[in-house]
Structure 1
Amino acid sequence: MSRSDSVSARTAHNPKDPMPCWPLIGRERELEVFARVKTNRRGWGFVVSGPAGVGKSRLAEECLARAVRGGFQGRRATASAAAAAVPLGAIAHLLPAGVDLSDPIAGFAAVAAGLGGPDRRRCVVLVDDLHLLDTTSVMLLRQLMDAGLIRLIATIRSDAVPSEAVQTLARGDAVHHVELAAFDQGQVETVLHAALGGPVGPNTVRLLHDVSGGNALYLRELVHGAMAAEALASDGQAWHLAPGSQLPGTTRLTGLIGAHLATAGPSARPVLELLALCGPLPLAEAQAAASRQALTDLEHAGLILSNQDGRRTSVMLAHPLYGEVIRASLPDLHRQSILLDQARRVEAYGARRRGDTLCIATWRLAATNTADPAVLIQAAGTARNAHDYPQVITLLDAVPEPRHTAQTRLLLGEALSQMGRWKQADFALTQAEELAADEQEKLAVALARTANLAWSNADLTQALAVNGTALSQACSPVDRHVLQANEGFLRIAAGQPARGLALLENLETEPSHMRNVRTWLRGALAKPTALALTGHTQQAIAWAERAHTIHQQLDDHTLVPHPAIQHIPLVLALTESGRLAEARTTAENAYARLTDSSLIARAWMAVFLGRTQWLAGHPASARRWYAEAATVARTINHAKALRPALAGLAACAALLGNLDAAQTALDEQATTPIAPSFLPTGEEHLGQAWLLAARGNLTKARAVLAEAARTARSTGHLTSEALLLTDIARLGGAQETASRLTDLAKACDSAFIQARAHLTIALTKNDPVRLLHAADELQNIGADLLAAEAATTAATAWHRTGQSRRATTATRQAAQATTHCQTARTPLLTAPAAAAPLTPREHEIALLAATKAASKDIAETLKLSARTVENHLQHAYTKLGVTTRRELTTALKGQPAPPL
C-alpha cells in the first residue's frame, strides 16, 4: 500500500478541496449518526447524498478520519466518468499488484489479504461519487462488505441516476444514509465565524447566505474571492463586506458553475440567458425562449425552479450565482438584444401586471441608457413603493431635465435621503421647492427637508427653522396641525422627549386624511420612542404596534421609510418594559425584512439590537450588532447612529476583556461629531465608564456614569437614567443610587426598572435573601448578567457568614446565569470562595444515595455504621447546597471525582 492510499488519524485532506482548513461545522447530527453506525461489529456502510457542493466529500473525509482514529485502516477512491470506462479503474490502486480476478476464489483471497494489511486491521474504504463507479468495482466492494472485510463510506449526488448495481450496494441492510441539506443562515454564521476567526456582521452573513444559497462550496469560494478582492475585511470588531461591493467569487467557482450550466446543452441556453437578465418570469414568457419540455428538463437538472402562486406559474434560475455567471459571459450586443426583445414582448402584452412598467424601464435603460421619460417616472414610483431607493435614483437621473417636476425632485430627494446622501438630497429638495406649484407641494417639500435634516448630521435647529418658516406661512388649520406634529417629531429627535410629547399630545390614533399620513407616521415613530424614554412603556408598546400595522397598510401610498422602522420604538419599549427576549426577536425579524437600501432604518435597528443584547448581558452578541450599526452608519456618514454604536462597541469590548479594541472604539467616538439623536441621552458614556472599570478605576467610572445620569435626568430620559444609576450600583455605588432608583421605579411602569431598584437595595444592605430574589426577578426578565451578579454577590455574603449550603446553592444559580453571559467580566462576578470539596468517602456515599439506596444498605455495602453514613451524607448535603436525596443527582452533575 502506498502512502497516498492510506489516511492517517492526523488528516482528512480532501484532494478536491484546495482549502482544507475550513472547519466542518453544522454537521453534528450527521456525525452523531456515523458514530453510532461504526460501532456495528458485523459490518456497515455509510452513504452521504446531497447536491453538488453541499459538503458531502468534506463530511465523508471527516468520517474516514474518525474511523482511522478508531483503529480502522483507511483507503480512498474517487469515481469518475473516465475511470468508469475501465473495469476496476477507480479502485485499481487499492488492489494488490498482479492480482488475477479471472480466478474469483484466488483473486478474492488476494484482495482480502491485501486490504487487510500485515496487521489485519479492519479496513474502511471511502468512495467519492459512488454513482459513477463501474459495475465490476461495485460488485467487488459488495463482496468485500458481505465478507466483513471492509466498511464503506461513500458520497452520491442527489440529482444523479445510479446504476442498478450501485443502488443495490447502497440499499444494503447495513448501509445507513444521510441527506445533506444546504446551510441555513445560522449555520452560515457559525461556519464563517470559525473560518474567519471572529464575528461576522449580520448583513454580511445574510448576503453570503443568500448568494451562496447555503452551498458550502460556493460559500467558501465566495469568501476567498471577496478576500482576494479586499471586499471582505475585519474592522477589528467584526468582518464586513465593503458597502456596495460585489461578490466576485473565484475562477474555480465560475468554472464549476459554468460546467454545470453547460449540461443543459445549446438549445436551452436562450431561456437561461433570458432568466439571467430578466427573471423571474411568468411561465408563458419563459416559453417564448424554450419549449415546456425543455423547461421541464432544466427543472429536473436543477438549473431552474418553478413557483406556483394561485393560478400563476413563474420560472427562475435555481441559484443566484447561475445568473452572475451567465451575465458575465454575454457579449454587449447580445445582452442588449435580449433586454429589448423582452421589453417589447411585455409591452405587447399591455404591461398589465404590477411591476411591468418598472421592468420595462429597467430593461430599456440597461440596454440603451435611455427610456421614455413618462415610463421612467412611473417606474420610479413603483421602485419607491418597493423601497428600492438606488433604483429610484437611477431611473430619475435618466429623466431629461425639462421633464422634471416638483414631484419628481421630491421623489429623488427622499430617495437620496434614505441612502444617506444628505447634501444631494437637500439640493434636490431645494429644486423641488422652486418647482412647487401650490401650497400642498410646498408643504410636502418642507416636510421632506426637515426629515432629511433630522436624520443627517446637521444641527436640529436647522430642521426646526425650516419647519418654523413653513408653519408661519401655513394658512390651513390642517397644515398647521401637520407642522406642529412634525415639530414634535423633531423635538424628540433633538433629545427633548417631554417637549416633543406635548406637541404630539393630540396626535390621532390613526391618520385622518391621506394628506397628513406621512407626518402622522413620523409622529407615530417619535411618540412611542418618547413614551419609552420617559418610562411609559406600555403606552409606547401600544402606539408602536398600532403605527406598524397602519404603516404596512398604507405602504404603497406614501413616501416614507420601510414599515419595519416602526419596530425601532417597539424594540426600545419592549426592552425597557422587561420583555428582553421578545424585544430581541422583534428586532431580528424586523432587521431581516429591511432592504439593502433602507440604510437609516438598518443602522438604528442594529443600534437598538445591540442595546437590547447589552442589557440582556450578552456582550459578544451586542458587540456584533453594534459593529453592524457602525459599519452601516459609516457608509452613510450618519454620526447620530455612529456615536452610540461606538459607545456600545467600547462597553462590550471592555466587558469581554479586549481593552485595546475598546480604546480604539472610544478614539473614533471622540472624533465623531456630537449630535442629539433618538438614542437615550447619557448612554454615549457607557463605553468610557466600563473601560475605566475594566482597568480597575471604579471611582472614576462611577463619576462618569453619575454625570451621564444627571444629564439624562435633566432632559427627561428616565429609563436611561435608571440604566446609568444601576451601573453605578454595580460598580460599588449602590448607596448613592438606591433612593433615586426607587423613585424612578414608582414613576415608571417598567418592570425592568423595578427589578434594578430591587437589586440596588439588596446591594446596599448586602442581603443575600434579597439578592437572590432580585436574581430571580432579573432572570425572568432576561437580564442574565445582572442576575448572575446578584446571585454571585449573594453567594459571597453567605460564605462570609459561614452558611456553606446556601452559598453553594447561590453559586450554582450564578453559574447557570453566567453560562449565557458570553465570558463577560465585571467586578460583581468575582467568584466567592469555593465550597469545600467532597472527600472521596462523601462523594462515594452521595453517589450511592443519589440512586435512592437506603443508608443502612449503603452502610452494609461500604462496611460502615449507619450513623457514619448519615454523618458523611449530611456533610455532602451542606457542601452541595442541597437538603434531600432527590436533589443529589442534579447537584452531582459536573462534580469532578475527588482524588483518592
Structure 2
Amino acid sequence: MVGLWPVLDRRAAFRDAEELLRDGKSCGVVLVGSAGVGKTTMARELVGSLTGDARWIVGTESTQNIPLGAFAPHLARTTSRDPVVALRAVRDVLADDGLAPDGGVGIVGVDDAHLLDEFSAGLVHQLAVGRDARLVVTVRSGAAVPGAIEALWKDGLLTPFVVQPFTREEMDEELAAVLGAPVERFSADAIWEESEGNPLFLRHLVESALDGGTLRKSGGVWQLRGRPGISPALASLLESRFARTPQDALDVVDYLAFCEPLELEVLSELVSRRSIEEAERMDLVRVRDVGHSHVVRLAHPLFGEVIRDRTGLLASQRIKRRLVEVLRVSPDPGVVTSMRIAELAMESGVEPDCDLLVRGAEDAIAMCSLEQGARLAAAAVRLGAGFDASFALGRALMWQGMGVEAEAVFAAVDPNDLCEYDVARWLLTRVANLYLEAGRPRDAVALFERERGRITDPVLRVSVVALDAVLHLYDRRLDGAIALAREVGAAPEAHPWARSSAVFAGVAALTVSGRGFEVGALAASAWEAISHGDGLLRFHIGYFEVQALTVVGRLSAAQATAARYRDLAAGQPNSAALADVASGIVELMGGRLNDAAAHLTEALAVLDRETRSEWVLLAAVSLCQVRAAQGRPDDAATALAIAERHSGPELAFFDPLIDIARAWVVGASGEVSAAAQAARRGAELAAASGQFAVEAIALDVATTFGDYSTTERLRDLESLVDGPFAKVASARARALMKADGPVLDGLAAEFERVGALIAAADTYAQAATAYSRSNDRRGELTAAARAHWLASRCDGATTPALAKAARPLPLTDREREIAVLVGRGLSNKDIARRLVLSVRTVEGHIYRACEKLSLSHRSELAKLVQV
C-alpha cells in the first residue's frame, strides 16, 4: 500500500497562509497540530508553492539538548566556539543560500520546532525579527515549546494556523481513493472512531487491517470485521507519548485501555484522584460531563491499542480481575456495563461466574451485538451453565443467519429436562429457526404440531399463538396471521417475545394486504416488549412499517422512520444492514437512486450468505429496481440472480416480489412484453394470498410496460388498499389506455408533490407520448422537458418511458420493442421465440418500422434505436 496514498488538497483551508507568504504581509506562518495530522505535508505544500530554494531545519529529540544541533549541517563554514559567532555564521549562510531568484528573501522551513534547542530556537526567532527569510514552521499542539518559538506568534512575527484532522467527508474521500471502492458506513464509522481523522493514524490503521485480513472487499464494498490492528511504526510513534509518563498516570491509562469509558467515581476506586489529574494534565485522558456524572476516557482510542499490545498476559488478567471486582459492586450496572463485565470476566484468567456470562449474552443479543452474545453464551455452555446458556447461544446464532448451527444447539436440548416455561422458549425459537433460517419449513411445522401440547399454562399458550401467527404469515394465510396477532396483543399476560413476534406477523400481514393505516399503532405497541427481548426483531418490524408508509403515500414519514431505525442500529453490522434495506426503499421512491444503491449494496455485502435469507432477498429485489431505473440492466440482472438464489419454499411469501423484480430486469432491456407478463404473474401470486398492496404494485408495473388490461382489477383494488396508491395506479392505467395526456400530466404532478420523483418522471414521460399521439406538440414538449428534468434530479434515471419520450420515434409499442431487440443483436428467429410470435410477423414489424423511418435495412434500425 505504500506509495498509493494520495494527499488530499486541503490547501483551500490555508489560502490565507499562501497569500501571506507570497505578498510579504507576514514573514511566515506557524502550522500547529497534533502528531500525524499532516503538518509536515502541509508545510511542504506551502513551501513548494513559493518561488525560490528552500532550506529545511528539523527538530529531533536526539539534538534537543545540543546547542544549534538542528543547524549542524549549516555550521561547516565556521570553527568558532563562540555561540554568537556561530549564530551569525549560520544566519548568514541561510540568508545567502536561501535567496530567491529575484534577490528577495529566501525560504526556511522548520519542522517540529517544539524539539529545537534554545540556541536553534533563538536563531529562528532572529530570522523572523530580521525578516531574513520567509518561514514555515510546524509545532505539535500540546507540546512544551521553547520561549523563542512561542514568541513567534505571541509577538505577531508569524501568523499561526491550526492544521485540523480530516473531516469525516475527507476521510471517506481518502479511503475511496486509496481502496478504489467505498467502505461500508458501519466500517467507516469504526475507522473514524479509531483514527479520529488523523491522516497518519488512518494510513497505518488501514494498511494494518489490509495486512491482517480484517479489512476485505465483499460485494463491491470494503468491510472491516474485527479491530484494524496497529502497525509497529504507529505503535512506536504512540509509545513515545508514554516514555516519560509517571507510573501513577500510566496506571490510569492501563485501566482505561481495557475498559473505557469509566465513571470518575468507579475509576477513583482503582487509582487515586491525583493520578487521574496527572493523566489529564498530560493529555492522556479526558474527563467529560455526562448527565449527572463525570466519565473518563483515553485522549485517543489508539492509546488503548498500544497499551493492550505491550501489556503482558498476567498483567492484563490482573487488571481485568480488578475491573470486574469494582464494576460488579456498582449499583445497577446497566446493559452495556453488564456486557463489559462478562467479557472481562471471561478473559480474567479465573473461571467466571456462569450467571454473569449468561446475563452478558442476553444483554448483547438485546443490543444486537450478536457475535459477542454468541461468544459469551458459548463460554457459559462450555462451563455447563445449562439451558439458559444454550438458549442464548442458539438465538445468537439464529439471528446471524447460522440456522444449521443454531439447530444443532437446540436439538441437543432434551425438553423432558425442562420446566414448562423453558419448553415454551425452546420450542418456539427452535421452530422459528428451523422454518426461516435452516430452510426446513416442513420439519418446523411438524415439530410445532408434535410438541405444542406440552404447553398448557394459559400465559405460556399466548406465546404459542404468537408463533402460530408467524407461521400463518409465511404460509400466506394473512387474515389468520392478523387475527392471531390481535389475540396476542389483547392478552395482558403475553411474554415480551410473544408480543413482539405477534406484532411482526401482524405488521407484515397488514402491510402486504393493503391495510397500511393500521400498521403504525400496532408497530408502536411492540417497542416496550422488544426492549426486553431480541433486539433484531425491531428491524423486521421496521421494514414493514416503512413499506406501509410508502404505500399509503406518507413518504416524509417513511423517511423519518427509516432514519430512526438507522439510528437504532447502534453500530451493529446486522442491524445496520436491516435498517439499510428499509432506507433503500425510501430513497428509491424519492428518486435518490445513488443513495438507494449505496444503502442496498452495503446491506447485501453484510447479509449475503450461503443459507437462504429473506433479508438478502428483500435487499436484492429493491436493488434490482434501482439498477433498472438507472438504465443498468446487467447490474439489475445480477441483483435478480441474488434474489432468486435466496428464494425457496419457506420464503414463498415473497415470490410476488421476485416476479416484480424480473419485470424490471427485462423491461430495462427493452423487452416490455416479457416485463408485463412477469408483473402480471407476480400480481396473480399476490392476489392468491391476499397481498393486495403487492398486487397493486405489480399491476402498476405491468401497466408501465404497456399492459392496459389491468384497469378493471386496479379499480377493484381501490377499495382494498389503504392510501392513494391503488387509486392513482388505476387512474394512470385508464389514462394510458386512452392516451389522455392532460390526466397523465395531473397524475405526474401529484406524484411530484408527494415526493415520488421516479414515478413522477415516468408519468410525465408517458404524458409526453400521449400528447404526441394526439399531435399536441406543445404538451409533448412541456411534459417531456419536465420528465427529463425530474430524471436528472433522480441521479439520471433511465426507464423505458423516459427513453421513449427522449426519442419519440413514430413506431407502435410492438414495433419499438422489436426494434430494441434488433438493436441488441437478436436474430428474427430469436425475437420471434422470445415474444411468442411467428418469424413472419417479426419480419413484418421490422419492415414497417424501416418504412416509417426511411431506413433500407435492419442494421440501420439497430443503430438508430438506443435504450
Q: Same fold (TM over 0.5)?
A: yes
- Does 2:570 align with 1:591? no
Matches within 5 A, 1:575-586: 575-586=550-561
Aligned to 1:713: 687
1:22 aligns with 2:6: yes
Equivalent residue letter for 1:747: L
Shift of 1:501: 1.6
Match of 1:450 in 2: 431
Say which of 336, 341, 355 aligns to 2:317. Answer: 336
**Pairwise mapping of residues 611-630 of structure 1 onto structure 2 (< 5 A)?**
611-630=585-604
What residue number does 1:502 align with? 483
2:503 aligned with 1:519? no
Judge which range, 681-690 or 654-663, deviates more. Answer: 654-663
Contact 2:647 2:655 in 1 (8 A): no
Pair 1:275 & 2:256 matched:
yes
Task: Flag the 1:341–1:620 CA change in 2: closer, same or farther, 3 A.
Answer: same
Give the one of 177, 187, 190 matched to 2:161.
177
The whole-number CA distance in structure 2 between the counterparts of 1:807 and 1:29 is 46
Query: How many residue pairs end up in the alignment?
Result: 799
Q: 1:695 aligns with which of 661, 669, 683?
A: 669
Say whether the 8 Å CA contact 1:376–1:395 is kept in structure 2: yes
Matched-pair contact (CA < 8 Å) for 2:37–2:164: yes
Q: 1:753 to 1:697 in 2, by over 3 A?
A: same
Q: CA deviation at 1:635?
A: 5.1
Q: CA deviation at 1:707?
A: 1.8
**2:493 aligned with 1:490, yes or no?**
no
Deviations 1:457-507 (A, max 9, x none): 424344344443455455455444442332112222344434422333434
- What's the CA shift for 1:366? 1.0
Query: What letter corresponds to residue 393 of structure 2 in structure 1?
Result: L
Aligned positions of 1:722-737 closer than 5 A: 722-730=696-704, 732-733=705-706, 735-737=708-710
Bigger CA drift: 76-85 or 612-621?
Answer: 76-85
Which piece of structure 1 moves more, 213-222 or 760-769? 760-769
* Contact 1:656/1:823 (<8 A) preserved: yes
Q: Aligned letter for 2:128?
A: R
Cα offset, 1:618, TM superposition: 3.2
User: Is residue 128 of structure 2 the alignment partner of residue 142 of structure 1?
Assistant: yes
- TM-score, normalised to structure 1, is 0.76
Match of 1:839 in 2: none
Instruction: Give deviations 1:749-783, integer Å, cap 9, x for gaps.
Output: 23455555555555555555444433433333333
Relative distance call for 1:382 and 1:698 in structure 2 (3 A) is closer
Q: Hey, what's the Cα distance between the residues in 2 that align with 1:710 and 1:41?
A: 78
Aligned residue for 1:426? 407
Match of 1:778 in 2: 751
Secondary structure of residue in 1 paired with 2:608: helix
Equivalent residues in 2 for 1:350-749, closer than 5 Å? 353-354=333-334, 361-368=342-349, 370-399=351-380, 404-508=385-489, 512-513=492-493, 515-548=494-527, 550-551=528-529, 555=531, 557-558=532-533, 561=536, 563=538, 565-594=540-569, 599=574, 601-634=575-608, 637-656=611-630, 661-672=635-646, 674-677=648-651, 680-730=654-704, 732-733=705-706, 735-749=708-722
- Tell me if the contact between 1:646 and 1:668 (Cα under 8 Å) persists in the aligned partners: yes
Give the Å deviation of 1:519. Answer: 0.7
The alpha-carbon distance between structure 1 residues 121 and 704, as it changes in their structure 2 partners (threshold 3 A), is farther
**How many angstroms apart in 2 are the aligned matches of 1:41 and 1:401?**
73
Out of 140, 143, 151, the residue aligned to residue 157 of structure 1 is 140
CA separation of 1:746 and 1:161: change in aligned 2, threshold 3 A = farther
CA deviations on 1:150-180 (whole Å, 9 max, x unpaired) are 4x65554332344444444346499463552
Q: In the aligned structure 2, how far is the partner of 1:435 from the partner of 1:473? A: 10
Q: Tell me the residue number matched to 2:844.
A: none
From 209, 213, 228, the equivalent of 1:226 is 209
Amino acid at match of 2:199: A
Q: In 2, distance between residues paired with 1:126 and 1:743?
A: 79
- Deviation of the 1:118 alpha carbon: 2.7
1:807 Cα deviation from its structure 2 partner: 6.7
Query: Is the contact made by 1:411 and 1:559 (CA closer than 8 Å) also made in structure 2?
Result: no
1:315 is matched by which residue type in structure 2? V
| Structure 1 SS opposite 2:698 | helix
With normalisation by structure 2, the TM-score equals 0.79
> Match of 2:205, SS?
helix
Structure 1, residues 208-247: CA drift from partner, whole Å, max 9, x if none? Answer: 2233333333222222222223333333532223xx5442
Contact 2:229 2:305 in 1 (8 A): no
Question: 5+ residue gaps in structure 1?
Answer: 1-16, 836-900
Going from structure 1 to structure 2, the CA distance change for 1:619 and 1:386 (only over 3 Å counts) comes to closer
1:118 aligned residue: 101
2:191 to 208, 220, 231: 208
Determine the C-alpha separation between the residues in 2 that align with 1:692 and 1:36: 58
Q: How does 1:273-312 map to 2 (within 5 A)?
A: 273-287=254-268, 290-310=271-291, 312=293
- Flag the 1:381–1:712 CA change in 2: closer, same or farther, 3 A: closer
The residue type paired with residue 288 of structure 2 is N
Q: How far off its partner does 1:539 sit?
A: 1.6
Judged with a 3 Å threshold, the aligned counterparts in structure 2 of structure 1 residues 482 and 652 are, in CA distance, closer, same or farther, namely same
- SS class of match (1:315): strand
Give the superposition deviation at 1:196: 2.2
Question: 2:840 corresponds to which residue?
Answer: none
- Tell me, which stretches of 5 or more residues in structure 2 are unaligned? 809-867
Please give the residue correspondences for 1:724-873 in structure 2 after superposition, counting only pairs within 5 Å. 724-730=698-704, 732-733=705-706, 735-757=708-730, 760=733, 763-792=736-765, 813-814=786-787, 816-830=789-803
Given that 2:686 and 2:692 are in contact with CA atoms closer than 8 Å, whether structure 1 keeps it comes out as yes
Superposition RMSD on alpha carbons, in Å?
4.4
- In structure 2, relative to structure 1, the CA distance for the partners of 1:330 and 1:542 (3 Å cut) is same
Q: Given the superposition, is the C-alpha separation of residues 541 and 322 from structure 1 closer, same or farther in structure 2, using an over 3 Å criterion?
A: same
Aligned to 1:865: none
How far 1:270 sits from its partner (Å)? 3.0
Amino acid at match of 1:773: G
Task: Give the residue type in structure 1 aligned to 2:758.
Answer: L
Q: Which amino acid aligns with 1:22?
A: P
Q: Is the 8 A contact 1:405 1:432 kept in 2?
A: no
Aligned-partner residue type, residue 216 of structure 1 = P
Mapped contact 1:492–1:678 kept (Cα < 8 A): no
Deviation (angstroms), 1:673: 5.1
Distance 1:577 1:764, change over 3 A: same
Shift of 1:828: 2.9
Residue 830 of structure 1 aligns to a residue whose secondary structure is helix
Partners in 1 of 2:781 and 2:23 — Cα distance? Answer: 44
State the Cα distance separating 1:512 from its structure 2 match. Answer: 0.9
Q: 1:635 and 1:91 mapped to 2: Cα distance?
A: 61
2:612/2:648 contact within 8 Å kept: no
| 3-state DSSP of counterpart to 1:239 | strand
Please give the alpha-carbon distance, in whole angstroms, between the structure 2 residues aligned to 1:91 and 1:268: 35
Distance in 1, matches of 2:57 and 2:553, equals 57
